[in-house]
A and B are shown apart, each in its own frame.
Chain A
Amino acid sequence: MTLVRYSDPDHLDVHQFLVEEAALLDRQDHAGWLDLLTDDIRYLMPVRVATARGAGFDTLPDMGHFDEDLYSLRKRVDRFATDHAWTEDPPSRTRHFVTNVRTFRAAGGELRAESSLLLFRSRGDNREADLLSAGREDVLRRVDGALRLARRRVLVDETVLRTQNLAIFL
């Protein structure tokens, strides 16, 4: 895998993709977000665990907060589109701050992207807002010329999440 320079069109495309994706999510355009995914999407957010430095792992191998394919993601989006997803009515106000984007060229024309995410989430009026920090490791593929997300691994930076649920995508 080779690091792609910022001036390279591939990096510019990747960065723009991630920023546009964040804009869709913050507008709650979940159907639009689904259109950015390949049919074989895998969307994984493993559980982080506090292990000793020498342990060699800091995620659980067999448990995630998310471990999704297109079917399950579509169901989640369909649910938000019903009139009965109470937890998001009123909706959360989210802002996805995407930074530290690094693009890599991988085999077979795939692009890998690493990025940092700070997700601000505020619900209601009285409640304290949540800040979720995470890194994302993405595999992007061109489908009919446009970039699509084929795989995302979210490395959330907390082992105990301080948000009431994951009715939001990272």
Chain B
Amino acid sequence: MTFDPVTALADVRRGMIPAYIYNDEEVFRLERERLFSRAWVFVAHESELPEPGDYVVRRVLDDSFIVARDEQGTVRVMFNMCLHRGMQVCRAELGNASHFRCPYHAWTYRNDGRLAGLPFHVDAYGGEDGFAKRGERLLPAPSMDTYRGFVFISLDPNAPPLPEYLGDFAFYLDLYARQSPAGLEFRGPQRWRVKANWKIGAENFAGDSYHTPHTHASVVDIGLFREPKANKRKEGALYFAGPGAGTTYKLPPGDFAEKLRYVGYPGEMIERMGALWSPQQRMLVEDDGFMVSAATLFPNLSFVHNWPQIDEAGTVAPFISVRQWQPVSQNETEVLSWFAVDGAAPESFKRDSYKAYLMCFGSSGMFEQDDVENWVSITEMAGGSMAHRFNLNSRMGLTSAGEPITPPMTAFSGPGTARQGFGEFNQRHWLSMWLDHLETAPPATERLDLGART
């Protein structure tokens, strides 16, 4: 059964989801060719590369890239293939190196990617004429940019500038990433593979507050996290802005400091947030009373922020996790999950926040354990014939005539569109962007000869 984008266009945009998109070879091929070929995809955070020579190796689907900080301190992203016969230059996943030496024929690259040397250049190649080595470097990622230390690449050399792409979502990203001028410190990632389609987690984090009370009932039962009861979740606001979308919790009454103290932030961190955040960001917390929780930046980078109780004394500790749903196949995803904490936070806070993260999310997290079971099961059910015979109803929040049941919120200081209560607005927003990409031909790229004199 082949995927017909024209039919799916009408269906997905009216909130009706062909069930097989969560486990289909043709859909995956289109995603590879038309979505991941042009989208801005996260590869690393600069805090993972504190020293010159530090590197991590990350992927965009099947393409491996070395993300390294060079000797001058510049972060670069380079395709991990030797310019000679295509050997994988770096087979470690992280480390520190001044140079990368290919184990095949000993071609050597500086950590900024420049080809430093190759054996017998004059004898074997006749020097520059045979292989123009001067200025050659490992292929840079076609587009690369950073925001708040988040390193993104695009396989499209003509990708729109990253700040333009991020648009209004930057406001929300900053609530996670800009708690102080120091910015975030990333730890990890934990990496594990789940037999689930990558889109399910991305959609869930974008806007699924509806699942929290039931999927995560057990964490309420054990007193881990006070918030996820159904009536409280309904008070939260859902927002979408630019390429991102997320969920929030409603906070109890109080001023800015009281609200953040409720979430578990100490005074010194609250002061820094108060000083750094814009008036609208402060108003979102203080006047509107919302705290960001889960979010997804299209296509596959998600965030979560919760504040569980981490000890017998009932200490509340907030944590931030950043995660990427790295597609492996139509029915398998590698999750890369980082713990992130503000660099200026006191050591005791970082320790408590890390504990909170491990208890809730990640490979062993008590929330995440039940999420993954759901997504694996959906994927399994979506892989057969029956999934081609119907559309899943993702119209929560709309009448049959397509009108929103509740109007957008007016008392919401963040950009974009926000609604209080349950609804699948954010998932529809995400899927709409997904379909935009699948309908667009892949970017044009040039095929170049390596080492040829021009």
Interface residue ranges, A against B (CB under 8 Å)? 45, 47, 49-52, 55, 60, 62-68, 71-72, 75-76, 78-79, 82, 84-87, 126-128, 159-167
22 A-B residue pairs with CB within 8 Å: A45-B364, A47-B191, A51-B95, A60-B188, A65-B364, A71-B311, A72-B310, A72-B355, A72-B358, A76-B366, A78-B222, A79-B218, A79-B222, A82-B222, A84-B218, A87-B370, A126-B380, A161-B191, A164-B373, A165-B368, A165-B372, A167-B369
Shortest distance in angstroms between B433's beta carbon and chain A's nearest beta carbon? 27
Q: In the bound complex, do residue B311 and residue A161 qualify as a contact, i.e. CB atoms below 8 Å apart? A: no
The distance from the CB of A45 to the nearest CB of chain B, in whole angstroms, is 8
A60 CA / B339 CA spacing, docked (Å): 13
Query: Chain B residues near A71 (CB, 8 Å)?
Result: 310-312
B193 touches A79 (CB 8 A): no
Docked Cα-Cα span, A162 to B224, in Å, equals 27
Residues of A within 8 A of B446 (CB): none
| Residues in chain B near residue A165, CB distance under 8 A | 192, 194, 363-364, 368-369, 372-373
B289, chain A: closest CB distance, angstroms: 29
Contact of A161 among B193, B339, B368 (CB under 8 A): B193
B interface vs A, CB < 8 Å? 91-97, 187-196, 215, 217-219, 221-222, 224, 310-312, 334, 339, 354-355, 358-359, 362-364, 366, 368-370, 372-374, 376, 380
Q: State in angstroms the CA–CA spacing of A59 and B401 once bound together.
A: 56
Q: Which residues of A contact B217 (CB under 8 A)?
A: 82, 84
Q: Tell me the bound Cα distance from A67 to B187 in angstroms.
A: 14
- Which chain B residue lies CB-closest to A65? B363
| A-chain residues with CB within 8 Å of residue B194 when the two chains form the complex | 164-165
Q: Cβ of A50 and Cβ of B369 under 8 Å apart?
A: no
Are B190 and A65 closer than 8 Å at their CB atoms? yes
A163 and B355 alpha carbons, distance in the complex (Å): 22
Find the residue from B188, B217, B218, B221 having the highest chain A CB count within 10 A: B218
* Docked pose: A134 CA to B222 CA in angstroms: 30
List, in ascending order, chain A residues with CB within 8 A of B195's CB. Answer: 127-128, 164
In contact, A164 and B222 (Cβ under 8 angstroms): no
Bound-state Cα–Cα, A162 to B194, Å: 7
User: Which chain A residue shows the least CB distance to B366?
Assistant: A79
Closest to B221 in A: A82
C-alpha gap A45/B364 in the complex (Å): 10
